Amino acid sequence: MKTIRESGVLCHISSLPGKYGIGSLGKEAYRFAKSLAKCGVKYWQVLPLVQTGFGNSPYSSVSCTSGNPYFIDLELLAAQGLITREELRGAEKKGEIDYAALYAERYPLLRKAFSRFFFDSEEFRAYVKSGVSEDYALFMTAKTVFGGGFTDWEEGIRDRDPEALERLRTDHHEEYLFWNFLQYEFTLQWTALKDFCNARGVKLIGDIPLYAAYDSADVWANPELFKLDKKRKPVKVAGVPPDYFSPTGQLWGNPVYDWKAHEKQDFCWWKARLRHALEIYDTVRIDHFRGIDRYYEIPFGDETAENGVWQDGPKEKLFAGIDKSSVIAEDLGTIDDGVRALLDRTGFSGMKVLLFAFDGNPDNPFLPENIGENSVCYTGTHDNDTVSGYLETLTAEEFILFRSRVAASLEKSGVAVPLGKKGENFPKAFVHLAMSTASRLAVIPIQDALGLNNSARMNFPGRQDGNWQFRLEKQPSSGAWKNLKKIVKLYRR
């Protein structure tokens, strides 16, 4: 059977243009989806849609299955009579995302919307009764009432005593309903957008971070599934060992899973998480896939990752019954034979990133000519420089060498895109190279599709501030979409 060749664009919801400080699930998302469909692009990839936590990162959330309240479109709420035109005007804010301002202003506005919401409607009561947001709503209610992390709460709430939780739900019922309301509205808006995309032949790729944040409903509700002590404090935390780039390693701080406890429960928590992801997305990318083969754990309280040890993960047992075509494995970083064997056994598509290709090694697996069919090819990821931005990091000598290697690859791949002497056409060349590969799917970050520099970069790993702020000032021009359409057609994607 011949592999179907398809294309995608990576653009997180937060990066969409709009009037109200951050991208949303409103009209700009629909315009973006329409443009993808007109170009023949079959996939729209987003980052995790979850409510962001520490550092505003979509990879650190209060709940793995939550929806980000910031993405709830205000104009759609106004159409329901929940927000006034004056309040809409007051929420207008352009430019990069200012998370501090959003936190201070958006939640009070959403509370006003909730105050006008008829929460005794049959649909909303059914949603609350379903319990789909129960742990999240209770967690956020307790966080509002008690502050701090869950280990700071009164013992009955910390330990989830049923009577204490019932008192919390009853004594603070409106607060509990408010957090349910946010998830209800998010779900309605996301489902409508997904249906719109799917009806036009565009599928959604979403993202699952491997680890849960410590201060989260997930850890609070399932302490037995993580390596915690009797007081719910972590015993071991996640990270990666020292390497050339980081002599003390990376200390992420997430509590690691107790995989033996998961296995005793037939991995029901993880399977439910995967099922949820495959309900709201068409395809799921699993971040830090190597941690499912073996993971690195560090004693809690250590200030560096130097004293960690490798432990076996659940491997393919975690994915019993999962359709292999619906999963993309983020198999980047330090990859060994165990990860490669796991990828082969699951049949999942791995990732190939062109920005990692041109180190002069002819056997580099990211070189376009070395990429196989069962893969997803990217020019770069949300954690990398943009193509244009990468060129700006090179010295004159490094640029000459890099240019010669890219030119050689263009020639081998039969791609007729001339490279400028000062970096002109490099983003275009990388887009063509990604599309030309044998990969079943080529995904282009919107920054590279538009040739933007590092001012549009999404994330700088290890940097505490200034991440996740990029927004498009406006929708890509008709000329930019026409160029992408030509490339998609040229490479039969």
Report the distance separating Cα 485 and Cα 53, nearest Å.
37
Query: Which residue in 185, 282, 287, 331 is the catalytic one?
Result: 287
DSSP assignment of 106-125 equals HHHHHHHHHHTS-TTSHHHH
Active site residue 287: yes
Helix (H) or strand (E) holding 52: none
Report the distance separating Cα 36 and Cα 42, nearest Å.
7
Query: Which residue in 6, 258, 330, 448 is the catalytic one?
Result: 330
Active site residue 73: no
Q: Which residues contact 396 (CB under 8 A, 6 or more apart)?
A: none
* Cβ neighbours, 10 Å, residue 260: 8
For tokens 């505490």, the residue is 464
- Cβ atoms of 313 and 292 closer than 8 Å: yes
Residue 317, CA distances (Å) to 298, 322, 335, 359, 449 in order: 24, 10, 20, 36, 38
Report the distance separating Cα 471 and Cα 474, nearest Å.
9
Helix (H) or strand (E) holding 404: helix 396-413
Residue 337, CA distances (Å) to 70, 239, 341 in order: 41, 20, 6
DSSP secondary-structure letter at 468? S
| Tokens representing residue 269 in the block | 């928590």
Backbone angles phi, psi at 255, to 5 degrees: -65, 140
Helix (H) or strand (E) holding 45: strand 43-45
- Cβ atoms of 103 and 118 closer than 8 Å: no
Active site residue 383: yes
Query: Which residue in 75, 302, 383, 424 is the catalytic one?
Result: 383
**Cα torsion at 432, 433, 437, 442 (round to 10°)?**
-60
- Catalytic residue numbers, as ranges: 287, 330, 383
